[in-house]
Amino acid sequence: MQVHVADHPLIKHKLTYLRDERTDSPTFRRLAEELVTLLAYEATREVRTEPFPIRTPVAETTGVKLANPKPVIVPILRAGLGMLEGMVRLLPSAEVGFLGMVRDEETLEVSAYANRLPETLRGRQVFVVDPMLATGHTLVMAFEFLRDLGADDITAVCLLAAPEGIQNVQEAVKDIGIPVTLVVGSVDERLDERGYIVPGLGDAGDRLYGVV
Ligand SMILES: O=P(O)(O)OC[C@H]1O[C@H](OP(=O)(O)OP(=O)(O)O)[C@H](O)[C@@H]1O
Ligand SMILES: O=c1cc[nH]c(=O)[nH]1
Ligand SMILES: [Mg+2]
């Protein structure tokens, strides 16, 4: 698995405000959207394009456009929804599929409660968005779902990751058997005993949408 840690002062600046416990929900949502747009620049570096002949007011030339079939963006509910708009803004012609997953706060095991994805992902580039990669259980289960639908090219975009989680995903991806790229805004210090990223930002879903 290729791992890219975005190293950009604007990303660090926005992440600092995102982490700050004084940041309210509307500001948190705006920052998450802005951050994903910056990370998406890195995540879409290998997006497939095809030649596209055009005529400018001056001359004929051949540019590029996104190739067909178009990419698929998959936010992992709930918190991944906070990154969807920023990603769609960069890839407006992409299709969007949804995966709903929640981790048990005691065992840290994950269960899926919603799945609305294209029938097949064969030949599609898939971009998974979820702000937090903690133990990595959620991402691994998501990758298995996507692989079972034929995906063979997955890029995951996360705002924060724990080193333990990256390691777990790296191990699991060997068995999943398809190329995976991970783009993250920061690799934090560690996980705490409750499975939260340290220093992290707390519960991303709650900070975006409130405690349910
Ligand atoms: O790497 P992991 O240990 O699996 O944890 C990461 C997951 O935890 C959070 O979701 P959560 O389960 O809190 O659901 P929510 O988005 O509905 O709040 C986060 O958005 C990830 O999906
Ligand atoms: O720190 C964490 C870990 C998992 N999920 C979150 O929302 N935050
Ligand atoms: Mg949550």
CB 174 within 8 A of CB 112: no
Residue 110 phi/psi, 5° resolution? -110, 145
16-73 tens-digit pLDDT: 999 999 999 999 999 999 999 999 999 999 999 999 999 999 999 999 999 999 999 9
Angle at 46 between CA 44 and CA 51, to 5 degrees: 105
Sign of the torsion angle spanned by Cα atoms 131, 136, 137, 143 = positive
Mutate to test the pocket of ligand 1, among 129, 137, 138, 182 (most ligand atoms within 8 A of CB): 138
Q: Give the DSSP H/E element, type plus range, for residue 165.
A: helix 163-176
CB 36 within 8 A of CB 53: no
Strand partners, 116: 98
Question: Out of 103, 153, 188, 207, which one is annotated catalytic?
Answer: 103
Predicted ipTM?
0.98
* Protein residues with C-beta less than 5 angstroms from the ion ligand 3: 203, 205
Cα(155)–Cα(36) distance, rounded to whole angstroms? 13
At residue 133 the predicted structure's pLDDT band, cuts being 50, 70 and 90, is very high
Active site residue 206: yes
